[in-house]
Amino acid sequence: MTELTRLTAAALAAALRAGEVSSVEATRAHLDRMAEVDGAYHAFLRDNAADALAAAAVVDAARMRGEDLSPLAGVPIAVKDNIVTRGLETTAGSRILAGWIPPYDATLVTKLRAAGMPILGKTNLDEFAMGSSTEHSAYGPTRNPWDVTRIPGGSGGGSAAAVASLQAPLAVGSDTGGSIRQPAAVTGTVGVKPTYGGVSRYGLIALASSLDQIGPVARNVEDAAILHEVIGGHDPRDSTSLPDAVAPFADAARHGDVRGMRVGVVLELGGEGYQDGVRASFEAALDLLRDAGAEVVEVSCPSFDFALAAYYLILPAEASSNLARFDGMRYGLRVEPKDGPVTAERVMAATRGAGFGDEVKRRIILGTHALSAGYYDAYYGSAQKVRTLIQRDFTAAFAAADVLVSPTAPTTAFRFGEKIDDPLAMYLNDVATIPANLAGIPGMSLPSGVSGDGLPVGFQILAPAHEDIRLYRVGGVLERALEARWGGPLLDVHGVNGAAE
């Protein structure tokens, strides 16, 4: 039954509807695949096998009774471990939450359960989603299925690797500066960051609240679209949740047309600092969009040169505030000071000293510094002004183009250890994904091919806020053209999971 793990989510859903396979069989196939291969990849921090199989049996029984089911009923899914799951340990990749069993479900998880989607397990991430490689996970890194000596991207490397290695047909991630899109790029998968507020964040362990967004992780554009329809929509429990109705994303992915669309190439997100193989793959994909009838134009967004700097002030500032809740009092780790009086404040400091990893400490210290008296205006205040300038650049660019495009990341997957001792070099890997978070606009990464090093390259599409549907329209067209050229999906053609044999 291992062929079940090769099916797209859409194909699996169709087979389930047709009664050709049960959800229990499909869920078991993915759990078996996990047992077989995850020792090599470490995409999952823990499985949820018993609960997933029980949920699958419930869906199968409902289907037998002829009940009206959701489009993805019975299709299993993996969930990033910074999204809380009632009764299932949730750590956000941190020691400070080791063993924590949440007493509630995130709205996203409630929606997945209501849709009859068995949750296979919780995926690995950089601690509290701070990183671009999963090397900052307190539980060890996830390895890239294309090359286990290389990073799977971050922070959502676990979700991307789980989908790429056929352990799950779908996953969810969170994107604060690229944590869905950059892992998609380096693993040859598809990741979507919806418009800010498009998917409820109730129950997402907050990193930077003005930037965080939950979104779909999949092996193709259509699957991401179907999942987006299931998880999107207004949630009264999230005050930043948009009132927008969910648009017909899947239909756009299947039947989109780019004839007459203006596709804007962002001059500042390319060129110097981008690997030759990344640029070549990007250019070739642009040609396919031209062939499909799109008009390719160039746009300039000069303030993007300051996006990384603004991001690394706003994110640490907000994170330093959000992570204040981890104080050893109400949940998670509590550590008493080695000597001296055991007061609450000293316990907090000892707990946070022992419970947080290097990158989390680095960002909390930076953020606290940036917010402290005497520095606030120059740092945080200036960063917020840059945010305005970036939004203005996007507004001008979207007047000249219907979507904007760029490589998702400047490089293909780098090797473990390559950037771990140089925080700035690590941060630079997010240079192309960060502007979307600062402006709240939606973005998608889909594979555009492989570079000369044999590793996948990500193609990023950006759309104006509330226009997520354009990502699926353009992404669907580009994916169909690429797969026609490759002779099938990239992961299959390149035999990442042995399919080429």
- Taking CB under 8 A as the criterion, which residues in 264-293 touch another protein? none
Using the minimum distance from each CB to another protein, give the nearer residue, 171 or 347. 347
Residue 418 near residue 352, CB atoms below 8 Å: no
Using the minimum distance from each CB to another protein, give the nearer residue, 210 or 248. 210
Binding-residue total with another protein (CB under 8 A)? 80
Q: Which of residues 313, 432, 446, 477 is near another protein by CB under 8 A? A: 313
Q: Which of residues 95, 251, 337, 453 is near another protein by CB under 8 A? A: 337
Q: Is 78 helix (H, G, I), strand (E, B) or coil?
A: strand
Under the binding rule (CB under 8 A), the answer on residue 465 touching another protein is yes
Backbone torsions φ then ψ of 467, nearest 5 degrees = -110, 40
Q: Which of residues 210, 280, 284, 486 is near another protein by CB under 8 A? A: 210
Of 313, 80, 78, whose CA–CA distance to 179 is shortest? 80
Using the minimum distance from each CB to another protein, give the nearer residue, 41 or 304. 304
Q: DSSP letter for 380, please.
A: I
Under the binding rule (CB under 8 A), the answer on residue 128 touching another protein is no
Q: Which of residues 221, 310, 397, 431 is near another protein by CB under 8 A? A: 310
Residue 396 near residue 348, CB atoms below 8 Å: no
- Taking CB under 8 A as the criterion, which residues in 421-440 touch another protein? 423-424, 437-440
> Rounded CA gap, 105 and 61, in Å?
24
Tell me the closest approach of the beta carbon of residue 107 to another protein, in angstroms.
13
Encoding tokens for residue 44?
């999952």
| Residues 275, 280, 285, 286, Cα dihedral to 10° | 100
Under the binding rule (CB under 8 A), the answer on residue 102 touching another protein is yes
- Taking CB under 8 A as the criterion, which residues in 225-244 touch another protein? 236-237, 239-240, 242
Residue 178 near residue 155, CB atoms below 8 Å: no
Cis status, amide bond into 155, omega within 30 of 0: yes
> Rounded CA gap, 208 and 114, in Å?
28
| Residues labelled as active-site residues | 80, 155, 179
- Taking CB under 8 A as the criterion, which residues in 162-201 touch another protein? 195-197
Tell me the closest approach of the beta carbon of residue 357 to another protein, in angstroms.
11
Cβ neighbours of 89 (radius 10 Å): 16
Tell me the closest approach of the beta carbon of residue 77 to another protein, in angstroms.
24
- Residues β-bridged to residue 15: none
Under the binding rule (CB under 8 A), the answer on residue 103 touching another protein is yes
Span of 49-57, 172-180, 266-274, 327-335 interacting with another protein by CB under 8 A:
327-335
Instruction: Map residues 354-393 to x or -, x wherever contact with another protein holds by CB under 8 A.
Output: x-x-x--xx-xxx-xxx-x--x--xx-xxxxxxxxx-x--
Q: Which residue's entry shows tokens 């969910």?
A: 246
- What is the rounded end-to-end Cα distance, in angstroms, of the chain? 18
Residue 347 near residue 334, CB atoms below 8 Å: yes
Under the binding rule (CB under 8 A), the answer on residue 46 touching another protein is no
Of 80, 88, 224, whose CA–CA distance to 153 is shortest? 80
Span of 98-106, 164-172, 181-189, 481-489 interacting with another protein by CB under 8 A:
98-106
- Taking CB under 8 A as the criterion, which residues in 144-163 touch another protein? none
Tell me the closest approach of the beta carbon of residue 160 to another protein, in angstroms.
24
> Rounded CA gap, 478 and 459, in Å?
10
